[in-house]
Amino acid sequence: MDLQWLVGERAEHEEIAGAAVSALGTRAAVYRGPFDAAPDARIRFVFAADLASYVASLPPGERARRCERTILVNAERSEVLELLEQHGLGGAIECEEPDAWTAYDARMFIRKETIDPARGERIGGPGRESEHYVLWTHRNVNTNTCRLADLVRECAAACSRFATRFDELVLSADDARRHELPAVGMRMIIGRTGLLAHRFPRPGVYLQLSGPPGGVVGVEISACTDASPLELARQLFADLPGPVPTFGDVEQVQLAGALREAVACDLGSPTPFARRACCVVKVAHRSGSALVRFSGGLAPGVPLSCAAVLANQALRIIASSFTLEEG
């Protein structure tokens, strides 16, 4: 379930929630019953009258994260910002009537960290902005209007991405042993990177992280010999079709708690506007050695270096959170 409306005993709440489900499309549903028995959902909508009992029903260890994925409905204007800040909610909407979902010139409170400032218009001022929240709208460029349903749909997607920012991928040393690889456990944050994980995709490889087909951003971690990073990089691309890669000088890259030897590789330009590049880092440990390959794109004219490759936001998140556990 993607969007879940939690309603209490008031008939008008259920009517508003029903109109929301119609306006927001499929995979939205209304739940009526004890909050602690509600199935989990990507985004929840809770009426202000039920907020205190809803928050109390959340498991303490999950409270902050679930509140980030909760949108408050029909809070008093004088207290909405205070409630948002107090509980760290995902945002707030006002829709006291069912037809509010199709009305135009809508606006809502959003968490500043979730929405790109270039998207839409932030409406600041007294009663409209606090430290972490601001009133926001996103008008259609052709009509200069917007529907509440469209705002909520965009905010819900942004809240969902934001709440995954600490999602961690873990491969244990036992996982590696079972796949006949050196017994090295590893973990890294993959939340908000947009990359999909493929564990042990083929012999000798611990992990592949990849984006949409045709994309250049990705990570591959494989077992390797004790050769230098430059020699390993040359071996890696020796049998690939296409132009011979250009290799940079050996560098030092901070990874897994230490400075590691690394080399950047220029793999050519699939388009006039970008070229493919990677940073190959050797990680030595007592159980063997692993090779981490960060792949990305460089704009024309950008000097080849591992720092330039790792400037990509997704790769930066993974590299900065990457840790090893030796087994």
| Domain extent listing, the chain | 3-163, 168-326
Q: How many CB atoms lie within 10 A of CB 173?
A: 18
CATH 3.30.70.2740 is the classification of domain 168-326: no
pLDDT of residue 171: 94
pLDDT of residue 242: 65
Residue type, 270: P
pLDDT of residue 211: 84
Helix (H, G, I), strand (E, B) or coil at 152: helix
Contacts of 16 (CB under 8 A, 6+ apart): 73, 95, 96, 97, 98, 100
Report the C-alpha gap between 152 and 93 in whole angstroms.
8
pLDDT in tens, 229-274: 999 999 988 876 666 789 999 999 999 989 999 999 998 876 555 7
Report the C-alpha gap between 186 and 256 in whole angstroms.
9
| Contact yes or no for 267/277 (Cβ under 8 A) | yes
13 closest CA partner among 101, 95, 89, 128: 95
pLDDT of residue 116: 81
Helix (H, G, I), strand (E, B) or coil at 33: coil
Residues of the chain with pLDDT under 50: none
pLDDT of residue 119: 84
Report the C-alpha gap between 166 and 219 in whole angstroms.
18
Domain 3-163 adopts which CATH fold? Rossmann fold (3.40.50)
